[in-house]
Amino acid sequence: MIILMNCMHEIPDYLKNIHKHQEASDSIAREALKQVSKDIKVPYAKTVKLFTNGDYEITLKFWKLVNAIDDKYTGVEYCSCCRKFDLSIE
């Protein structure tokens, strides 16, 4: 599942730990998308755009790679303002 989020320009104190988690999970998501980009021979920026628009094949490849790293993640959100991914654990 991909959820597009609105941007919070200032992060309240109670959300700072969540923001730190977001930075870590953003790195995991981006590494997975870079690998998908290489695998399908599509430029990275286009791969990200296709992924955030819900492309089925890219999404399957993304989750296969993310689950190989850590299978605790169940969802992903993307903030178009901050341009960051946040992998969620449920």
Q: How confident is the model at residue 88 (pLDDT cuts 50, 70, 90)?
A: confident
Q: How confident is the model at residue 11 (pLDDT cuts 50, 70, 90)?
A: low
- Mapping DSSP to helix (H, G, I), strand (E, B) and coil, where does residue 70 land? coil
Give the strand order in the sheet containing 84-88.
2-5, 75-79, 84-88
Whole-number Å distance between alpha carbons of 56 and 10: 33
Q: What is the pLDDT of residues 54-67, one digit of tens each?
A: 999 999 999 999 99
Is 88 in contact with 29 (CB distance < 8 Å)?
no
Of 38, 54, 52, nearest in space to 85 by CA: 52
Q: List the structure tokens of 2.
A: 């991909």
Q: List the structure tokens of 40.
A: 């399908």
Provide the whole-model pTM. 0.76
